[in-house]
Structure 1
């Protein structure tokens, strides 16, 4: 059944893949954007403008769109800078609250929201389900802020009184516009031999192509009877000791040099070091079973360096 869908964050890497996908499936799509100039080439059915942190503006924009389903893809991440993390945390807390209030006032029935699968605490594993606790007590202030904002987003979405809520915990995104694209920050660092491999490199990353992320959002929009939290990741979680050397090989780059884990943290910062040494992967069994989704790209090995 087709629906009127509002996509907040439509100019982001997932939003740009999702808008045409929704339209191809017959949905009427309104893009909510903060800067209309960034919507060039997006081609939604309608465009509304609001800063997600401005509650009255969000309420007016959503009211004019009259959505049945709201898709929340808001973030402000351009790398892992402190400013980007802080702004994204506000979008996940204040912005989520504004979207939910506006959606309920406009008579929407459903909200689908972006979360992250790699915010779980590094205990157990190596691959965790949606029931694993979030890393709320992370030693890094920026990551603790991120995980607490994620927890609030999920609580608000699942607790919305008048909306059926779905939270999609995306794995580590790759593809056009991401850090892992050949022109992205991580792709460029690996290509130049500037991303070292800690010893041990036991952190597990669950990758996800942006096209598969968009397809998961489409499934969530169309599955009216389903609600809850879902990991969205490919079928090939990999330790850094596996994926980083293979990524370098695929890029035609030199093998990453091996450094002690303590030195890696000083060189790369806490978050990247955490990914390479301690992060856990994400199981995708629940979304396969309840949303009938599976990755069109089952393994990062085929496309990580291809886009």
Structure 2
């Protein structure tokens, strides 16, 4: 099949391209003008490259008309830097960008769209570990996080509501691996390694982690599968903050995180990190195993500190 990978130079996209080529697919990398150069024709690179900013509908239409995809894989984010501007751009990529890709994919005759979502957008209600039917946290008290979750919900609505194009949403867990926030040299990893990241006194929030390579393998499974719908993609070991953060510090050879009262910890950590450690829910992955035939290969206990 001809597969367009939007975001082919990103963390997951760059891991996915060689997997698709190894499966015999013809891979077209959709990159934004100014992205890192993409070579073609080698085993770990795309067969072709087309250039378009996903937020430019005219450019996306022209690029997909040239690419003639059977499947479009949407791995676009702007989260190399976790700041407010990056979060807002990512929200636009999930709404406007997704709408542009869908419109252009339909016009180009694509039969399927595979899209990157997040499993940790669920509301902090009910069991510690939730399946895909759990409600999303649309009314989160933090405006940036509320905007993020609302954009995810709109993206899912667009993908699953498009006639003539089958839609698959991969709700990834919290990514770890080289060049992620949890890389020992990354922003989060560096703070933990220096003993600069505290932990709330009640850290019962559950994180479901996911290695970048396992995310790419899930996208490969989704391209090749006839299954559609929403799938949580995460490792087998959801863990409370009181478990994984001290263990991560130990892996890095760092001192145990200092314990702070929750209200003080929120001011130090910021709302999102505090939510992760105190209230976030993990992700059940039974559906992905059964319908996509996917399973994780790397646990956070083995890979979180290895980069």
TM-score relative to the length of structure 2: 0.97
Separation in structure 2 between the aligned mates of residue 283 and residue 47 of structure 1, nearest angstrom: 36
Pick from 111, 115, 118: which aligns with 2:117?
A: 115
Deviation at 1:241, TM superposition (A): 0.3
CA contact (8 A) 1:237 1:281 kept: yes
Separation in structure 1 between the aligned mates of residue 62 and residue 145 of structure 2, nearest angstrom: 33
Separation in structure 2 between the aligned mates of residue 214 and residue 7 of structure 1, nearest angstrom: 11
Separation in structure 2 between the aligned mates of residue 40 and residue 165 of structure 1, nearest angstrom: 27
Deviation at 1:177, TM superposition (A): 1.6
Separation in structure 2 between the aligned mates of residue 199 and residue 130 of structure 1, nearest angstrom: 30
* Aligned counterparts, 1:1-307, within 5 A: 3-35=1-33, 37-40=35-38, 43-223=45-225, 225-297=226-298, 299-307=299-307
Separation in structure 1 between the aligned mates of residue 7 and residue 144 of structure 2, nearest angstrom: 22
CA contact (8 A) 1:287 1:293 kept: yes
CA contact (8 A) 2:38 2:46 kept: no
Secondary structure of 1:216's counterpart equals helix
Secondary structure of 2:36's counterpart equals helix
Gaps of 5+ in 1: none
TM-score relative to the length of structure 1: 0.97
Which digits, 9 at most, give the CA deviation of each residue in 1:133-169, with x for residues without a partner? 0000000000000000000000111111110100000
Deviation at 1:284, TM superposition (A): 0.5
Which digits, 9 at most, give the CA deviation of each residue in 1:196-239, with x for residues without a partner? 1111011100000000000000000001x211000000000000
CA contact (8 A) 2:4 2:29 kept: yes
Aligned residues: 303
RMSD: 1.0
Separation in structure 1 between the aligned mates of residue 163 and residue 190 of structure 2, nearest angstrom: 45
Gaps of 5+ in 2: none
CA contact (8 A) 1:33 1:39 kept: no
CA contact (8 A) 2:38 2:49 kept: no
Secondary structure of 1:38's counterpart equals coil
Deviation at 1:35, TM superposition (A): 3.2
CA contact (8 A) 1:154 1:167 kept: yes
Secondary structure of 1:249's counterpart equals helix
Separation in structure 2 between the aligned mates of residue 279 and residue 85 of structure 1, nearest angstrom: 19
CA contact (8 A) 2:201 2:261 kept: yes
